[in-house]
Chain A
Amino acid sequence: MGRFIYRRLIHGLIVILGVTVIVFVVTRMVGDPVQVMLPLESTPEQRAAFEKKLGLDRPIPIQFLEFMGNMARLDFGDSLWQKRPAMDIVFEKLPMTILLTAVGIGFACVLAIPLGIIAALRPGGAVDRVTVFGSLLGLSVPQFWLGLLFIVVFAVQFKILPTSGAGTPSHILLPALTMGLPTLARLVMLVRSSMIDELNRQYVKTSFAKGLPFVRVVGLHALRNAGLPIMTLVGWEVIRSLAGYSVVVETVFAWPGIGLTAIQAIEREDLILIQAIVFTAAVCVVVINIAMDFIYKLIDPRLKLT
């Protein structure tokens, strides 16, 4: 157990370090933020001064050492674009993405588990076929397109929901729906297939032979066993969303989250902000991964955390 935590933490550190180093190297080696940051008509002197201010004129190894030192203190410096500490911006945007993810994936879970179970009860039946086809369709529609479609239908045609932005609870509905739909589709498929697997296991027969009511056998015995793959997928979806996959939805709906900020930072070559965002995303991924391991242990007592 202790060994497990210790090893996971070390691994997490390696991940975070690896990610930030890659970002550091990639951005330093190829990009030139000075050009993009200053207006077109700036003079070469202005450019040189700006470069010096950012410390971009020093050799890359020295920049890197300084960068590592700053990272250890969680201080990435001021965003080139917004002129304030990059971590402030991240901490401001991250909750929005977490909120969007939580609502989107929460909605997917709430719908997917009953749908998947119902489909699994009679594989090949009408309900199952409709569910499976619907899921395949949900998996196939590109998210950005779906988002646009939602905007046209719900916001512009019926005017019942706002088109974009954040603020009131109604603002989150369309982005969350767009975010959750592919997750819902994947989840339904997974719940269905793992429930089919579980329902064919011997212990389910035992439970029926014990005379337990159907609902208990399916909803408690089988579902808890199917919980591991389901949790894995849910965790994976959360990770995906925090690891950048929310970009598309956030862009379409102008949702002020970390993904949109990332894209904006990339467009503006804001190295500092990019580094801060990627670092945070890596930390999130690592933390969720470790949390998932503990949740697995709760679901399945057979797992040993080593």
Chain B
Amino acid sequence: MTPPRTDTLEQALAENRFEWWNSVCELGRELKRDKPGLIGVILITSLVLMAVFAPYIAPHDPAAQDLTARLAPPVWYDKGTWDHMLGTDHLGRDVLSRSIHGARVSLWVGAAVVLCAGGFGVVMGLMAGYLGGRTDAFIMRWIDTQVAFPGLLLALIILAVIGPSLTTVVVVLALNGWMVYGRMTRSAVLSIRQSPYVEAAEVVGCRWPRILFRHILPNLTSPLLTLGILEFARIVLAEAALSFLGLGIQPPATSWGLDVAMGKNYMFMAWWLVTIPGCAIAVTVLAINLVASWLRLISDPQEREKQFARHMAKGMRKNMQAEIDKERQPETS
């Protein structure tokens, strides 16, 4: 690192103003190196775009039925048409359009649950970790108790009783999943609280909000981000499973899990009904997982180092080969 060639602190500060851009670039460079991560990021971005602009992208209304064009195969079959590129389902609805709109539900549920559960969990974790004492004991008991609940069973019952809908699915999944964030936040807060730099902040007279938000939270962001993304993947799968069981998203809304459930009855004559939404779920979750594992990698300095070392070693070998080749050339010429 070259020190900035300036005389005063203010100048130096001014010169370093755009430092964050460098770190963004650095991140980009690293992403380029990690092919799976790159693929994941690209996939996720396009999925999000697809979900946001679904009404403009989808060729048909996902709910529009056409009983005369039921179970039409994808375009590459003899009977397939370009009108329904990926075929139609048992009600003659366009599979492609349904899959595009299905992304909306999956991503929306995922994001909503992660935000709700994450928000609540982090607040609880912060309270438990920072306030300590009885608050801590109470929140931890609560978390322990809820973790020991047969979560999915309860979720199924509640959904069945209250009646499944987008909102109830989000609420039930969030109620079922906030404990992870709570536990992680608490343990991170506890360990960061022990760290000398937090003690230093306390010694110079910082009040607790400043310590929490300036010292503790910024150091929590990267583990929380990784956890959130992993949970996102889990939630997408959970939503699909609930919808598959008929206790998640209800028609006429579309959801990949629901489409698999409906297509399952026809899977021996119209494989695309099950396969396409199934693949959509798998690809989405895989992309999220790829991004999560890349994030985990770059947020772990040790792992990052090792990754780099392997990269270097590979590059070195290549360079050596090149040098050997270079040396040989004059001999032959």
Contacts and interface: CB of A to CB of B under 8 A. Distances in A.
B285 A140 contact: yes
Contacts of B141: 11
A242 interface: yes
A146 B290 CA distance: 20
Contacts of B282: 137, 140-142, 145
B278 to A, nearest CB: 4
Contact of A140 (B157, B286, B302): B286
Contacts of A263: 156, 245
B307 interface: yes
Interface majority SS on A: helix, strand, loop or mixed?
A: helix
Contact of A137 (B144, B233, B286): B286
B212 to A, nearest CB: 29
A139 B285 contact: yes
B265 to A, nearest CB: 11
Nearest to A267: B160
Contacts of A243: 149-153
Interface in A1-43: 11-12, 14-15, 18-19, 22-23, 26-27, 29-31
Contacts of B149: 15, 18-19, 243, 282, 285
B187 interface: no
Given A15-B145, A243-B152, A285-B149, A142 B281 contact: yes
A23 B156 contact: no
A26 B267 CA distance: 36
Interface size band for A:
35 or more
Interface stretch (A79-87, A166-174, A215-223, A273-281): A273-281
A303 interface: no
A132 interface: yes
B285 A133 contact: no
A246 B85 CA distance: 35
A207 interface: no
B56 to A, nearest CB: 28
A144 to B, nearest CB: 5
A241 B261 CA distance: 21
A263 B155 CA distance: 12
Interface in B227-274: 233, 237, 240-241, 244-245, 247, 257, 260-261, 264, 267-268, 271, 274
B310 A142 contact: no
Nearest to A143: B241
20 contacts: A26-B157, A29-B161, A136-B290, A137-B282, A139-B289, A140-B281, A142-B257, A144-B257, A145-B274, A148-B264, A152-B271, A156-B268, A243-B152, A244-B151, A244-B156, A247-B245, A248-B244, A262-B156, A263-B156, A282-B148
Given A19-B150, A244-B151, 12 more contacts: A15-B148, A31-B161, A136-B289, A140-B285, A140-B286, A142-B285, A145-B260, A149-B278, A244-B155, A263-B156, A278-B153, A282-B149
Interface of A: 11-12, 14-15, 18-19, 22-23, 26-27, 29-31, 123-124, 132-133, 136-137, 139-145, 148-149, 152, 156, 200, 240, 242-245, 247-248, 251, 262-263, 266-267, 269, 274, 277-278, 281-282, 284-286, 289
